[in-house]
Amino acid sequence: MIGMVYREEADIALGLFTMTTERATAVDFTDHVSINYARILAARGSPEVTLWGFLQPLTTNVWIGILAALVVYMLVMVMPSCIPDKTLTRSRLMRSSFHCVRVLLQQDVDEGSSWWWWERVVLGVWMLMTLVLTRSYSGNLMALLSVRLIPEPFQALEDLLEHPVQIIIIKGTAEEQTFRTATSGIKQKIWNLRKENRIIRFGVAQMYVVETILLEGKSALITLDVYLKKIMASEFTNTGRCIFSLGNMRYIPAVEAMAGRKDSPLVPALGHKIVQMTQSGLYDYWQKKFFPNLTSCLNSPTKFAITTPLAIRNIWGMFLLLAGGWIASFLALFVEICFLVPLQGCSLNKDSILF
């Protein structure tokens, strides 16, 4: 259409065209109608169970705080070894310090008559803290085990490099020109994927095929978000479901306007009417009128709760962690029996167990 106006086969090109320097040398643009950005559209994944979901009830900072508090309590329990005239056996100190670990793991604690009163106070405070912590954790864990996560892996251009998907670009658009002329950065890396046959170029007349290809889940479309929103709205109107995912990152700002012949008096006259149309809100009204459900899937949830019996696939990450702990403990036992015990037998005497 730009070419037809440039060859004077038409006076005005009815449509919205992204203003670029190359196009501005061939045609005149009216006042802008809208400003859009290029984004990524891909099919949403199937609901998945999070493997490490049992770690989610507590944030990373909370886990670090628990370990730091545990270390502090263990140090407090062994402080009597620094008091003059106090002699504690190594087994006594180990038992006192590791009582905190046993409480955190909800194991039993032996009631020794040799306990000092301050040890009982410290351990009681630690018991109260771990009781609140474990009850909160167990409640949140049961809630999270009923949640399914819908993956949306393509939020930025970097994600397209990491996943072996086909990238669809519309031929003749300003977005394609931006990728094609890029000399560095992420856009150049994306365009270089054509050497791996990962770039698919479709014409505007073939847009009806793009939606079918996207539904296969092996490709992603990069174009202006106004067209991506229309694809999402059309699918939601037909199926009642939000099947597509729109990336968060925005690229290639596009100022869109209509185009006319160079120095044509129709261009400023039409531009004046466009300003009145946009300022009165008619353009936004027409968008919502002709494309219902235009915003229905823009903030669709990626997590949802279900009611289903607990299965192994929901908690097998816990068993994996348990197996890893067993392997680590057996390795520690092997090292202790084969290396540490012979050394201690040769170097320790009966008085070396006292501090």
Note whether 202 and 241 are same-domain residues.
yes
**pLDDT at 291 > cutoff 90:** no
Q: Which residue range forms the structural domain that includes residue 201?
A: 2-48+154-295
Kindly state whether residue 166 falls inside one of the protein's structural domains. Answer: yes
Residue 57 counted as domain residue: no
Residue 257: φ, ψ to 5°? -155, 175
In a domain, 206, yes or no: yes
Q: Does pLDDT of 298 surpass 90?
A: no
Q: Are 100 and 70 in contact (CB under 8 A)?
A: yes
Give the confidence band of 212 by pLDDT, cuts at 50, 70, 90: confident
185 and 85 together in one domain: no
Per-residue pLDDT band at 127 (split at 50, 70, 90): confident
CA 54 to chain centre: 18
Q: How many structural domains are present in the chain? A: 2
The predicted pLDDT at position 327 comes to 92
pLDDT value for 6:
92
Whether 60 maps to a domain, the answer reads no
Residue 301 belongs to some domain of the structure = no
Instruction: Tell me the CATH number at 176.
Output: 3.40.190.10
In a domain? residue 194: yes
CA 158, 159, 163, 165 dihedral sign is negative
Q: What percent of the chain has pLDDT over 70?
A: 80
Same domain, 43 and 24: yes
Residues 209 and 290 in one domain: yes
Question: Which residues fall within 8 angstroms of residue 245, CB to CB, at 6 or more apart?
Answer: 41, 42, 43, 44, 152, 154
- Tens digits of residue pLDDT in 177-211: 888 888 888 889 989 988 888 888 888 777 778 88
Shared-domain flag, residues 160 and 212: yes
The predicted model scores a pTM of: 0.60
For residues 321 and 239, membership in a common domain is answered with no
| 98 within some domain | yes
Q: Is 42 helix (H, G, I), strand (E, B) or coil?
A: strand
Are 263 and 119 in a shared domain? no
Q: Is 289 helix (H, G, I), strand (E, B) or coil?
A: helix
Same-domain pairing of 127 and 94: yes
